[in-house]
Structure 1
Amino acid sequence: MYTLDKPTERSLHDPLIIAGRTFHSRLMTGTGKYRNFDEMRQSVAASGCQIVTVAVRRVQTNAPGHEGLADALDWSKIWMLPNTAGCQTAEDAIRVARLGREMAKLLGQEDNNFVKLEVIPDAKYLLPDPIGTLEAAEQLVKEGFAVLPYINADPLLAKRLEEVGCVTVMPLGSPIGSGQGINNAANIQIIIETIKVPVVVDAGIGVPSEAAQAMEMGADALLINTAIAQAQNSPAMARAMSLAAEAGRLAYQAGRIPIKPTASASSPTIGTIASAAQ
């Protein structure tokens, strides 16, 4: 059994801030694809996460695996991130976002106006619609939502979403649930370098080394669901992803050594026996 860790000393001094709200974990997790609620609860605790995303439409319709999900976690300790999964148009996503805000209120989070915006008409690769996402984001920002849009790793779209008032951008590492890792590192790097709001790498991460890679690049946070939920031991993988996120963040802040085409001795040559004999 894993228990929720207290924030580390380092995380207390390096918080993630989204829409003025402070979080000490840089790993967000999901609630879908778990084998049962107990495994999901253990995994959320093991991850140490403070933000958990919930598919509003699936909860509203009591979709398989989502019956009773609203009561499965202690929402006084975890910040709900309602998402618009399953929406194929901007209009549908806006409607579901409004439902998500009301759902958060019913669970006691009266001031929760967060929404993970997903507009995905593509059934095979589940790639987000950039035009629909931008349209929905503009409207939701006007309605007072803190919008966290899920997007392809498109630096120009990311910049436009920042300009309309989104509080993060969430570029995919590779298609949802694919476990392919970071397939578009160059574009994500551009987004990290050009966007001032937090950059959350979302989708495609399969193992902790890929989570660490994203954080080492300078991503502000990660959202990981399938890699945890479908692991043979979900709580153990959740813990591993948490450690990877923290290690990657610390490595980014520490600053890696330059990559060189040749070797560089780690021990000095001055004062060695050979040099002294000369």
Structure 2
Amino acid sequence: MEGQDRVPDEWSVGGHRFSSRLLMGTGKFQDAETMVGAVLASGAQIVTVALRRVGRNPREDDMLGPLGELKGITLMPNTSGARNASEAIRAARLGREICGSPFVKVEIHPNPHHLMPDPIETFEAARVLAAEGFVVMPYMPADPVLAKRLEDVGCASLMPLGSAIGSGRGLATAEMLRLILREARIPVIVDAGLRSPSEAAAALEMGCDAVLVNSAVAASGDPIAMASAFARAVGAGRDAHRAGLMPQGGGTALATSPLTTFLSGEGS
């Protein structure tokens, strides 16, 4: 009923429950202070960290130190920079040892000119890591066939791209995302290409479980304010999906006023 508290809208990844549907990346920020401020403003509970920026010993660019001090944050090491399954598997194992987190974002893009994920190597790495007990969250092309294959080998979620990494082209893969959503039994998280909070809201309205953003926040004029804007947009998009969008019309206008017939003089 109106005015009553709604049931908490949590979601689950690999048996771990979260309330925030905005995941954050930690690359491209001008400094650690800005990055931490943006993470806090976003309300994100899952934060991905590139292993090349995390070390066993404190360094100026070590991201693990400041993030490790934040409460309620699950670190998700990613294998960015891996060119094949073997490199990704090795990086994932190292990430679990350093961060103590079972989560891993499998990210394999051998071509530095377009950074598109390699579907064959991604599948192989995901298969091995899922069998080893990792919570595997693969960055992947928006391919419905690959999505089912990854689900079948035990991935905890699917992370199809909205458009190319860092391109800011938004939901260019929207039609393929809808096909993935139609069949998926695990969470679908749009990763890469989002530029604006409105695009994040559209992904949630579509039925995606969450979005992951990095460049859209880090490369904005005010990363902390932008992180907050994304958080509100994700919440609005999820609320709209739960409420149910109105059907689209067939190309003709439909009057909304119940007085239309009376005002037109019909029936008199």
Mind listing any 5+ residue stretches in structure 2 that lack a counterpart?
A: none
The CA deviation string for residues 119-154 of structure 1, in whole angstroms up to 9 with x for no partner, is: 110111100000000010111111111100000000
After TM superposition, the score normalised by the length of structure 2 is 0.93
Residue among 37, 45, 48 paired with 2:43: 48
Q: CA deviation at 1:253?
A: 1.2
Aligned CA-pair RMSD: 1.8
Contact 2:110/2:118 (8 A) holds in 1: yes
Please give the residue correspondences for 1:205-216 in structure 2 after superposition, counting only pairs within 5 Å.
205-216=194-205
The CA deviation string for residues 40-73 of structure 1, in whole angstroms up to 9 with x for no partner, is: 11111110111100001332499xx972311112
Residue type at the aligned position of 2:259: T
In structure 2, what is the equivalent of residue 98 of structure 1?
Answer: 93
> d(CA) in 1 for partners of 2:204 and 2:113?
28
The aligned length equals 261
- Relative distance call for 1:176 and 1:269 in structure 2 (3 A) is same
Residue among 12, 22, 25 paired with 1:27: 22
Residue type at the aligned position of 2:258: P
- Relative distance call for 1:181 and 1:273 in structure 2 (3 A) is closer
In structure 1, what is the equivalent of residue 186 of structure 2?
Answer: 197
In structure 1, what is the equivalent of residue 256 of structure 2?
Answer: 266
After TM superposition, the score normalised by the length of structure 1 is 0.89
Residue among 155, 169, 187 paired with 2:158: 169
Residue 137 of structure 2 aligns to a residue whose secondary structure is strand
> d(CA) in 2 for partners of 1:66 and 1:243?
32
In structure 1, what is the equivalent of residue 11 of structure 2?
Answer: 16
- Relative distance call for 1:27 and 1:277 in structure 2 (3 A) is same
Residue type at the aligned position of 1:22: R
In structure 2, what is the equivalent of residue 147 of structure 1?
Answer: 136
The CA deviation string for residues 86-143 of structure 1, in whole angstroms up to 9 with x for no partner, is: 10010000000001101122xxxxxx31100011101111000000000101111111
- Relative distance call for 1:216 and 1:273 in structure 2 (3 A) is closer
Residue among 84, 97, 102 paired with 1:113: 102
Contact 1:169/1:199 (8 A) holds in 2: yes
> d(CA) in 1 for partners of 2:266 and 2:15?
61
In structure 2, what is the equivalent of residue 83 of structure 1?
Answer: 78
The CA deviation string for residues 143-200 of structure 1, in whole angstroms up to 9 with x for no partner, is: 1111000000000000000000000000000001110100010100110110100000
Residue 104 of structure 2 aligns to a residue whose secondary structure is strand
